[in-house]
A and B are shown apart, each in its own frame.
Chain A
Amino acid sequence: MKDTLLEIKGLTKAYPGVVANSDVSFRIGKGEVHALLGENGAGKSTLVKMIYGLVKPDSGRMALNGADYAPADPHAARASGVAMVFQHFSLFEALSVAENVALGMEDPPKPRDLARQIREVSETYGLPLDPDRTVGGLSAGERQRVEIIRCLLQDPRLLIMDEPTSVLTPQEVEILFQTLRKLSAEGTAILYISHKLEEIRSLCETATILRLGKVVDTCDPREASARELAEMMVGSSFDPVQREAKAFGAVRLKVSGLSAKSPGEFGTSLKDISFEVRAGEVLGIGGVAGNGQDELLAALSGEIVTAADMVSFDGTPVGAQGPEARRKAGVLSAPEERLGHAAAPDMSLTENAVLTAAARQGLMRGGFLDWPKARDFAERVIEAFDVRTPGPGTAARALSGGNLQKFVIGREVMQDPQVLVVNQPTWGVDAAAAAAIRQALLHLAAQGTALVVISQDLDELMEVADRFGALNEGRLSEIRPVQGLTVEQIGLMMGGAHDMEVAHVDA
């Protein structure tokens, strides 16, 4: 084992309602490429934010080079030699590379010296970058290089990289990996956050696996198989589901050959997705975040319009219809992002009830809104889903995340949906409320609604779903009954490790 650079002992951080990190301990050696592996919500971000001084731990200690290390803010962290490249860049598009680098430095040198230094570093580490170019014209990979060079100029001893490959092309990933290997060879330790197993296996020497805020295991990813890593990440806390086979009704939602380009720049396009959901059935869709979940919901809600026959409801093609027409017919949905997508932050809960329920709940007549009726509907949602708020006149942004989640799910559940698509239905909701939401979803299924539940939480999917599939780079895996599904199989379905394609054959 290499000499220890950073040692973390018993770090704990709790937010209201959720413990993000609980007694986390591990050590990073000098020059080591250390992976931090875990599902979304496992506590990776909170952990690195503590190391970078953005968040203060509730308890626990850190030691850097044997000395106590407790950065009060990112300045202190950088002064101690800890640098971080964020997933989302903070660059000014109108400024040049050199100007952007200077803005992020504690004590920038003169422009001419800086340009020379940038050239030197970019040549040394094989990161081609012209300091005079305007950032606006750079690709995502080049922008990331700006961030990396900004960090390297400060001569860090530990470089934290938060999901650096999520915006890169395969060629750019290869360049990045070469740079990181070179840095490591020169003695800079790298803390590499990702949930892409293959990347970690090819790059990292040590992996700390987090699950629900706790360290589950530490291993050498080069020696573990992607399958083992996936299992550790997913955890084996649940037993294979034992559930009697139910008899389902007719096919209500049919998706065939659905392909759609993502409207967002970094989105994932959907590729040839096909599935059917029957009356009373719950289809659970898992997968690592950013693999097309948002796009799938948008294509089903009508925000993304496709060829008509790609999406059918009760045998009628609806793929070409917008959200209003689908809602009227009975296809309802609740997107993941609560503020700004599922709800308008500055509008009251009554107004937010109108947002999706206007036509279906008869909250308007001839285009004129019936506000008393809308308030009544909002109050019913608040009551039925135990939304903690002074009343329906409260602005959506005044609610806590969990309470707003209850409201936006409740708003759809209370509208008697025929098909309901939800993305992350219990994200940020406390355990009791999460159970209530799942119960409400199952209740809908019992009444003959066809449900699609998209979630990062596998326990949740195992609890509510009858069949399970996983999204991976915009493609949907084979769909299997949840009954008898093992952790190993799930890991394979969502692992994103292409070398495991062959494993599907035996199924």
Chain B
Amino acid sequence: MIRLVKRPQPSRFWTAVTPILAVLLTMVVGGIMFALLGKPPLEAIRIIFWDPLFHPQFAAYSRPQLLVKAGPLILIAIGLSIGFRAGIWNIGAEGQYIMGAITGAGVGLAFYPMESFIIFPLMVIAGALGGWAWGMIPALLKVKFGTNEILVSLMLVYVAEAWLASVSSGLLKNPEGRGFPGSRNLQQYDSAANAEIIAGTGMHWGVVAALIAVIFAYVLLTRHIRGFHIRLTGEAPRAARFAGVKPARVVLFCLGLSGALAGMAGLFEVAGPAGQITIDFNSGYGFTAIIVAFLGRLHPVGILLAGLLMALTYIGGELAQLMLSLPGASIQLFQGMLLFFLLATDVFTNFRVQLGRKGAA
């Protein structure tokens, strides 16, 4: 008989090893899936994990994409992870991301065609505020009426999508766009553009913000009393109240912060890689960031690595679709496996496997 025995404390070894193990298991099972689809498994794995970085022909294009994709994922996931640590489940980062993009781009477009160095910083602030405000809706409802933040934040994603559809064909529509829905292209408006800082690297201001967020979260969670209280709230709510933590303040702080970071990510995306507000400029980063947060074990450095890995599977997945004509769904399945195996192997961190008969009690 196989039994799981709870460890007296989480194993350090397994905490470090499980992400690697999960990636390896994903490669094996994903490879089998690709083989069943009639594609060469080893080649598919190589295209997904290796070619985006080192292929002589494609790498020049796909390498900068790594940072472009990883930036928003990391920025959003960092905000989410702080809430998750406190047991506050913001599932609606996608909505906060969209609202941040709308408010940030709205501020930029309001100044058009004026040129000033102050415009872009104002847009960043507006984006953060937009996301923050959208995050405060579930926060206030939870604090005042005890609603479930998971449901409210998720539902607000669909409200945000409705707003996006409305403004891209109404309020923010490009008056010179010959009637097509979508705003002016911010890439072509210098003061508002989130341009590459170093050409050809994919490094834009959103990536810088993501790195700052990683450092900020690390310091907050490991060095500051407020981060300590956040972790305490997640691990033992009663002990947190005994320590003097006010639960409502933690809810407001966590949802506000994750909303603001998601909103900033939205602004960096719309003013940079996406360029304009369109009905479908958002590409699901808000949801994927949830996977990134867990893949990174809710640890800032882990999230940094997980964001890069996730971005890699995105780019590599697109490449594999292109080169091996793999179906898109199989790539999504592949990414899903990654989270699945991570959660599955996670058991070993807190439990150890005992073989044999049940010992005497």
Residues of A within 8 A of B (CB): 56, 301-303, 322-325, 327, 335, 337, 340-347, 351, 354-356, 358, 364, 367-369, 371, 394-395, 397-398
- A344 partner, pick from B8, B224, B226, B239, beta carbons under 8 A: B239
Give residues of chain B (28-56) contacting chain A, Cβ–Cβ below 8 Å: none
Interface segment among B156-164, B241-249, B351-359: the answer is B241-249
Partner of B238, one of A324, A340, A367, A394: A340
- Smallest Cβ-Cβ distance to A398: which chain B residue: B8
Chief secondary structure at chain B's binding surface: helix
Given contacts A345-B236, A358-B225, A369-B228, is CB(A303)–CB(B242) below 8 Å?
yes
Quick one: closest A residue to B243, CB to CB? Answer: A355
CB contacts (< 8 Å) of A364 on chain B: these are 225
Hey, which chain A residues are within 8 Å of B239, CB to CB? 340-344, 355
What B residues does A354 contact at CB under 8 A?
225, 228
Report the Cα distance A354→B243, complex, angstroms: 9
Answer yes or no: B306 CB below 8 A from chain A CBs.
Answer: no
- Are A395 and B9 within 8 A (Cβ)? yes
Contact between chains at B225 and A346 (CB < 8 Å): no
Question: Closest residue to A374 on the B side, CB-wise?
Answer: B228
- With a cutoff of 8 Å between Cβ atoms, the chain B residues found around residue A343 in the complex are 236, 239
CB of B140, distance to nearest CB on chain A (Å): 21
In the bound complex, CA of A358 to CA of B8 (Å): 26
Report, nearest first, the 4 A-B pairs whose CB atoms are least far apart: A324-B244, A398-B8, A323-B244, A395-B9
B350 nearest in chain A by CB position? A346
User: Are B226 and A346 in contact, with the CB atoms below 8 A?
Assistant: no
Using Cβ atoms and an 8 Å threshold, which residues of chain A touch B264?
Answer: none
Which partner residue on chain B sits nearest A343 by CB separation? B239
B235 touches A345 (CB 8 A): yes
Q: Indicate if the CB atoms of A367 and B242 lie closer than 8 Å.
A: no
Nearest B residue to A334 by beta-carbon distance? B242
Other A-B pairs, 9, CB within 8 Å; known A324-B244, A395-B10: A323-B243, A323-B244, A344-B232, A346-B9, A347-B231, A347-B232, A355-B232, A355-B239, A356-B243
Task: Tell me, yes or no, whether B144 is within 8 Å of chain A by CB.
Answer: no
Bound together, the chains give a CA A364 to CA B242 distance in angstroms of 18
- Please state if B244 and A344 are interface contacts (CB–CB under 8 Å): no
Residue among B228, B232, B240 facing the most chain A CB atoms (10 A cut-off): B228
For the complex formed, measure the closest distance between the CB of B216 and the CB atoms of chain A, giving whole angstroms. 13
B223 on the A face (CB < 8 A): yes
How distant is the Cα of A337 from the Cα of B239 in the complex, in angstroms? 10
A346 touches B235 (CB 8 A): yes
Taking CB atoms and an 8 Å cut-off, the chain B residues in 205-229 that contact chain A are 223-226, 228
- Residues of chain A within 8 A (CB-CB) of B235 are 344-347
Question: What are the residues of chain B within 8 A of A347 when measuring CB–CB?
Answer: 231-232, 235-236
A303 & B10 in contact (Cβ 8 Å cutoff):
no
What are 18 contact pairs spanning A and B, CB under 8 A? A302-B244, A323-B243, A324-B244, A342-B242, A344-B236, A344-B240, A345-B236, A346-B9, A347-B231, A347-B236, A356-B242, A356-B243, A367-B225, A367-B226, A368-B224, A369-B228, A394-B9, A398-B9
Which chain B residue has the least Cβ–Cβ distance from A301?
Answer: B242
Query: In the complex, which residues of chain A have a beta carbon less than 8 angstroms from the beta carbon of B243?
Result: 323-324, 355-356
Cα distance A344–B241 when bound, in Å? 11
Smallest beta-carbon distance B273→chain A, Å: 36
For B246, the chain A residues whose CB sits under 8 A away are 322
Residue numbers in A under 8 Å from B244 (CB-CB): 302, 322-325, 327
Please, how many angstroms separate the alpha-carbon atoms of A56 and B360 in the complex?
Answer: 11
> Are A369's CB and B232's CB within 8 A?
no
A contact residues around B224 at 8 Å (CB):
367-369
